[in-house]
Structure 1
Amino acid sequence: MEEGGRRQKHIILVHGACHGAWSWYKVATLLRCAGHQVTVPDLAASGIDERRLHEVSTFADYSQPLLDILAALPPGERVILVGHSLGGMSVSLAMERFPERIAAAVFLTAFMPAPASRPSHVLDKLFQEAPMSFWMDTQFSSSRDQEKSPVSMLFGPLFISLNLYQLCSVEDLTLGTTLVRVGSPFLQDLSSAPPFSKGHYGSVDVVYIICCQDLAITEKFQRWMIENNPVKEVKVIEEADHMAMLSRPKELCECLLEIVTTYV
């Protein structure tokens, strides 16, 4: 498809835990203004999706809105997938299931599993290394029936302001604290899943965008994931916190436009 003399390309933006499509509003606008098709789904029980977490039993159920988009793509269309934070795990699942439909996968300070380990490994490591004090006022709770309902997680206002949004505007901080919903890391489900395969997941070109001021998934942790699963390209945004799409939208958009030009 052509728009303004430039070939329009399709970019799918995937939000992180407790967030929704709304978190991408700045970057989605910039990419559309640059002439590209942008799809921003709400994953299950997120954003304006009407389901509640207790209705979402597995990580695949949670990621199903993204998988449905890929399944419905026209024959031959290949997209750029961008996952933020826990959204990297949803992107990974999509890579495993639809590698032929993904031109490149972008991990934005996101959890990125290695084919040699179970999908939960990167999440387990972060939870093991972070002291409980790190989570501040984040609320965790377990369902009586953990087989049907995952452990829930809701980021607290203090955690959001100090560890996620510390470089964001006051307006975006207000937006975030207003719109976050109960989510889950789906650790139990992901711990029982087999590793993603080299033949599917490992066949997709991957770009990792490091956010140096991220206090939640630190630069050190991001680089550890890259060492465990070497990628095609690494980009760095020096002054971005965890919410780079809000704190540094122009820099992030520039990175994504470079990736689109290179890989599609």
Structure 2
Amino acid sequence: MGPCLSRSETAKRRRPKPNPFRSTSVAGGRNPSTRRQDVVFQDHELAAAAVAILCQRKLQSGGGSGDGTTSSDSSALASTLQLFRSTTRRNHQLSPRSLSSTARSPDLLPPSQQLTSEELCVDGLEASHFVLVHGGGFGAWCWYKTISLLEVAGFRVTALDLSGSGVHSFDTNCVTSLCQYVKPLTDFLDQLADGQKVILVGHDSGGACISYAMELFSSKVSRAIFIAAAMLTNGQSTLDMFSQNQTKENDLMMQAQRFIYGDCKSSKPTAIDLDKSFLRDLLFNQSPAKDVSLAAVSMRPIPFSPILEKLTLSDAKYGSIRRFYIETPEDNAIPISLQQTMIDQSPPEKVYHLKGADHSPFFSKPQSLHKILVEVARIPSKTS
């Protein structure tokens, strides 16, 4: 999400405590197109997924707390799931307003567009390991539908929590650089064996994060997919790009954002929080109510410093990686006009138009998003 810097529109807030929700971070997933049938994730399935995710994170870290999980995870998870269930029983009235009068259409793909058994085979692909990078305020938890679909299709999936996001225990207000913010991603790529390649997927400001990683680890990235994401040029910051957003959605963002001043020694903001009463209209205007409820109890403030940093991107490294962009036409956070500006300024290999998708297609169009991800993974390698 692009911040709109207007001090008159901001309010000082106390430094928030990290959100207690213990989110989705998995290593281990079906169906662009348009119309909507949600993967039906019942409460018990969400609970089971969350528990499995936490257990896996602990196993990966050797049971330590350095990964951001703590001994209070179980109680925090239980309390959050209880809140999640109670919230969804209330017809979900986070905001009575709606910027879109268009009813959500089912994400059900016709038989002719559904993936065949051959398309679901991952053998022989240049890369069959997806690394999912969330956007500002989100966490790895937001990918739970995408993770399940890709794993069912035979892909390996890793969804990471960036520093101060999701279950990562670092204080958001203490994230002072892009390097620090993306450290979980760069650490992961650094540990990949030589010759092993992954498909990077970035959402929202996660686009700048994967771009940063692409420059550092170009030999380990097969291709990159930007989903309603910041796809920047050399010398550009996320703020530079998002400041070009001069639309009616810009007003909504300005109303929603609240700057946090977590450093008493500085007058500069340390993070941006979003007023929960605006979440549905801004980020989830086409998404199911249950997913909006999940986000409402899971989202954390957005570190401010990383969006100010200008990227250094070279043709030899970043430019050598195949890029793909997925447009979200019903997006009220990064409007389609701004997405197309980024595409024009730094053209990717191919652009997909995900009809009916809001800013969070992993919620609003999970099947259609999945089909695009698989299609990109199956594009043949370029011959040298």
TM-score by length of 1: 0.90
**Letter of the aligned partner of 1:204 in structure 2?**
I
1:209 to 312, 322, 326: 326
Structure 1 residues 263 and 189, CA, compared in 2 at 3 Å: closer, same or farther?
farther
Match of 1:161 in 2: 280
Structure 1 residues 141 and 57, CA, compared in 2 at 3 Å: closer, same or farther?
same
Q: Which structure has more helix as a fraction of its residues?
A: 1
1:120 to partner: Cα distance: 4.4
Q: After the TM superposition, which residues 52-201 of structure 1 pair with which residues of structure 2 at under 5 Å, given as runs?
A: 52-115=171-234, 117-118=236-237, 120-126=239-245, 131-142=250-261, 143-145=263-265, 151-186=270-305, 189-190=308-309, 193=310, 195-201=312-318
1:198 to partner: Cα distance: 1.8
- 2:157 match: secondary structure: strand
Q: Is the 8 A contact 2:235 2:311 kept in 1?
A: no
Match of 2:94 in 1: none
1:137 to partner: Cα distance: 3.3
Q: Is the 8 A contact 2:287 2:360 kept in 1?
A: yes
1:74 to partner: Cα distance: 1.2
1:256 aligns with 2:349: no
Instruction: Give me the whole-angstrom Cα distance separating, in 2, the residues matched to 1:157 and 1:13.
Output: 24
Instruction: Give me the whole-angstrom Cα distance separating, in 2, the residues matched to 1:14 and 1:34.
Output: 20
Between structure 1 and structure 2, the one with the greater Rg is 2
1:233 aligns with 2:233: no
TM-score by length of 2: 0.63
**Letter of the aligned partner of 1:260 in structure 2?**
A
Cα deviation digits, residues 191-250 of structure 1 (max 9, x gap)? xx4532222111111000001111110111100000000111111101100000011000
Structure 1 residues 205 and 29, CA, compared in 2 at 3 Å: closer, same or farther?
same
Instruction: Give me the whole-angstrom Cα distance separating, in 1, the residues matched to 2:249 and 2:265.
Output: 26
Structure 1 residues 118 and 160, CA, compared in 2 at 3 Å: closer, same or farther?
closer
Instruction: Give me the whole-angstrom Cα distance separating, in 2, the residues matched to 1:56 and 1:222.
Output: 27
Match of 2:149 in 1: 30
Instruction: Give me the whole-angstrom Cα distance separating, in 2, the residues matched to 1:116 and 1:213.
Output: 29
- 2:325 match: secondary structure: strand
- Structure 1: runs of 5+ lacking an equivalent: none
Q: Is the 8 A contact 2:322 2:348 kept in 1?
A: yes
Instruction: Give me the whole-angstrom Cα distance separating, in 2, the residues matched to 1:28 and 1:117.
Output: 31
Q: Is the 8 A contact 1:124 1:187 kept in 2?
A: no
**Letter of the aligned partner of 1:66 in structure 2?**
L
Q: Is the 8 A contact 1:86 1:185 kept in 2?
A: no
Match of 1:44 in 2: 163
1:15 to partner: Cα distance: 0.3
Give me the CA root mean square deviation.
Answer: 2.3
Q: Is the 8 A contact 2:260 2:273 kept in 1?
A: no
Match of 1:247 in 2: 364
**Letter of the aligned partner of 1:246 in structure 2?**
F
1:154 to partner: Cα distance: 1.1
Q: Is the 8 A contact 1:59 1:186 kept in 2?
A: yes
Instruction: Give me the whole-angstrom Cα distance separating, in 2, the residues matched to 1:263 and 1:121.
Output: 34
Q: Is the 8 A contact 2:203 2:227 kept in 1?
A: yes
- Structure 2: runs of 5+ lacking an equivalent: 1-119
1:221 aligns with 2:338: yes
1:19 aligns with 2:173: no
Structure with higher RCO (Cα < 8 A, 6+ apart): 2
**Letter of the aligned partner of 1:219 in structure 2?**
I
Q: Is the 8 A contact 1:58 1:150 kept in 2?
A: no
Instruction: Give me the whole-angstrom Cα distance separating, in 1, the residues matched to 2:329 and 2:307.
Output: 30
Structure 1 residues 127 and 73, CA, compared in 2 at 3 Å: closer, same or farther?
farther
In percent, how many aligned pairs have the same letter? 29
Instruction: Give me the whole-angstrom Cα distance separating, in 2, the residues matched to 1:30 and 1:178.
Output: 24
* Aligned positions, number: 258
**Letter of the aligned partner of 2:315 in structure 1?**
K
1:39 to partner: Cα distance: 0.2
